[in-house]
Structure 1
């Protein structure tokens, strides 16, 4: 009897364990988009992406549905895909014209301060009218420089790039794009013409600057015509000197504004002129200043502003519906602290499209395959079919935007590549191959 009880007990325990183990096994999921989609497989099975971190999302705008995904919930360093977030912030906060300058008057004095507008005296932009307004004022010019409360460079920027054209300093009132432009026969602004010295010999001609002052130096000797921009160190005193030299009249500093002072805003260029340059040539300085202008718009009491204020506002008030929280640190994408997911970028592209439903205007802001901007030499076709923003850093290449198929459908896409060790040109060609196939066969 005891032996029978033992046998029954062990049989019961064995059955219980088998049942428990069976119930703990993961259930086999039904086939999903991820496991069967041919567009996903173009990315997932690419030998070029084999050793890199790749993510992809494709969305049909007409059907309002996701077409394909591959690691679209993973976070990637976006590089200049960040400018898509900056563009959306500007579209929501800045209106049709650039808020170029704030000012008030007292007696015969004009007191003015910057809003972040990057266009004043910029060598590649048309005159905005701000210069004429200052020059034609009949009284005293008083410049208030203390409304920008941020740092000169963004978080996560490479400190060693301080002298490279793409990393100009941040400020409330940029002048000349915050760079010195050197050519074979000219230096602009001209007050820097005696600041250049020869630092040594090299086979390669290069211009640079001392890190903490405006002493510029060259190595080597130019063998052909050149134009090179080197950022200068900004300061209130230097801004006043630059304005005085260009306006041909005295500009004095004022270090305090009356609390609650009423002011007016001088409007500048149409906002799209700024967006097109920012998106076409991936102008980092313009992108950073867009976020500063957004912060300035929020700073209605002139307490002081910095980019973090506008980034936090847009995240909390305008981007709460993204699938994944954006880790967003600057306006340009120079920061490697930025992290976005492909599926969040798809949602952002939807929001941008809703904000600018005029395709001609929207696509005109983007780099256009075969026609304009950073993808001018790719996606060549009789009719452009890619309208997008590139993003490039060392070991980072991303492309996100709008794709028009041969059947006329509009697709949203985001392709993000990080941590590759092959040449960027190889990654770029593979992205082009995949998007071209989708264009032709979707």
Structure 2
């Protein structure tokens, strides 16, 4: 005869054998229920839109608290990410560039210093009034030699649109950028202000209207020859990239500092066999630059960020080399193996999946302070989200991405119930309007905030 304790143990065992599988089933059903509800929302707002019936659409929603996907529709499919690529670059810069950007590498000898560029994009950039590198060079009492033997890149990235060469957002990459590698102009034809004003000796005026302000500026494809159009009723700054080179950057820098830089083949005769004291001159706070990069979707800052990382960790400036290194280390566990070719997303050769972006955004959340993330990323109504998501200010932190026929949005979403969701929405090969797709994305994310 069984004792009461034995009977109780058998009863509990039988109950567990019945309940545990049922609990598992209930959890699966609950997960499926959430996925179905989100699928219904996605269908009403994005995926079943007639205007997008021929487009490729990928949506991934992830709960960072429990590490589970709430929704995956083509989340493992490849899309052209456009400026969502900056999310990947931003993570690497946040992790490895330190608190301040390396502005100049210096080897100091008894009677002179040798300076080497680091790829820092902030030198004499109008975004930054404070210029520590310039201050250092101005106060330097010794002779200055310049060397650059680490550049392994081209001015343009693979897959960039060549016919955008004179648009402000496609500044050339270089080892020592200066003035953002763009020519800026403003004012009227008879009083045009140009920065840098020592880059050109003359600018062709396309019309002779002395009452209108400069409305656009263009550049010859092969030369630093510029032309200005005057059609604006108000003063504005117009920009176009200039063709870069070490010699041009040095000339502009020397003209600004009123100092001469030498470029010897060897330093041996001058240094009397003394050992150099090597150090770095830092320029701007890293997160200040990254915030501008993400809020403005600045291609130039993104490209130079990768080059700074490459110089810092590999001793050369090469996108391909640092990308290969990062893919084999920090990003080796990406759900899908991406094709990553540049820092900004200007290239149509880039291919990432929505799950890839969720993976990187989750790494950010795990590794970095939340306040740091929400400062660098734009929220609703700000940055490239200006005019959108006003009701989600403080609830949405995201990065946009746009190339013709491709649009993306990836980031963080804080719901009314206090959940932090990570999402990525990518639309490729569409022929609809960007405005319609952005409104569809906004409707989808607003519903998620309200219901979850």
- How far apart are the structure 2 equivalents of 1:328 and 1:81? 12
Task: Verify: 1:338 aligned to 2:338, yes or no.
Answer: no
Task: Verify: 1:79 aligned to 2:78, yes or no.
Answer: no
8 Å Cα contact 1:166/1:283 also seen in 2: yes
8 Å Cα contact 1:396/1:419 also seen in 2: yes
Unaligned 5+ segments in structure 2 are 1-27, 269-274
Decide which of 370, 374, 384 is 1:363's aligned counterpart: 374
Decide which of 100, 103, 108 is 1:100's aligned counterpart: 103
- How far apart are the structure 1 equivalents of 2:267 and 2:333? 39
The aligned residue for residue 293 of structure 2 is 278
8 Å Cα contact 2:108/2:276 also seen in 1: no
Task: Verify: 1:191 aligned to 2:209, yes or no.
Answer: no
8 Å Cα contact 2:254/2:260 also seen in 1: yes
Between stretches 202-211 and 103-112, larger displacement belongs to 202-211
Shift of 1:309: 1.2
> After superposition, where does 1:13-412 map in structure 2 within 5 Å?
33=32, 37-44=36-43, 45-47=47-49, 48-184=51-187, 185-192=192-199, 194-199=201-206, 205-255=215-265, 263-300=278-315, 304-356=316-368, 358-370=369-381, 372-381=382-391, 383-412=393-422
8 Å Cα contact 1:111/1:142 also seen in 2: yes
Aligned length: 407
Between stretches 209-218 and 406-415, larger displacement belongs to 209-218
Shift of 1:317: 1.1
- Say if 1:42 and 1:84 are closer, same or farther in 2 by CA, change over 3 A: same
Calculate the TM-score normalised by the size of structure 2. 0.85
Question: The residue matched to 1:54 in structure 2 has which SS?
Answer: strand
Shift of 1:151: 0.4
- How far apart are the structure 1 equivalents of 2:132 and 2:215? 37
Shift of 1:145: 3.0
Between stretches 103-112 and 49-58, larger displacement belongs to 103-112
The aligned residue for residue 426 of structure 1 is 436
- How far apart are the structure 2 equivalents of 1:388 and 1:256? 49
Moved over 6 A (4+): 200-204
Shift of 1:384: 2.1
Q: Map Cα deviations across residues 87-142 of structure 1 (whole Å, 9 max, x no partner).
A: 11112321221111101123322211111111110011232411100111012121
Calculate the TM-score normalised by the size of structure 1. 0.87
Q: Map Cα deviations across residues 381-430 of structure 1 (whole Å, 9 max, x no partner).
A: 27521100000111111000000101111000000011111110000000
Unaligned 5+ segments in structure 1 are 1-29
The aligned residue for residue 438 of structure 1 is 448
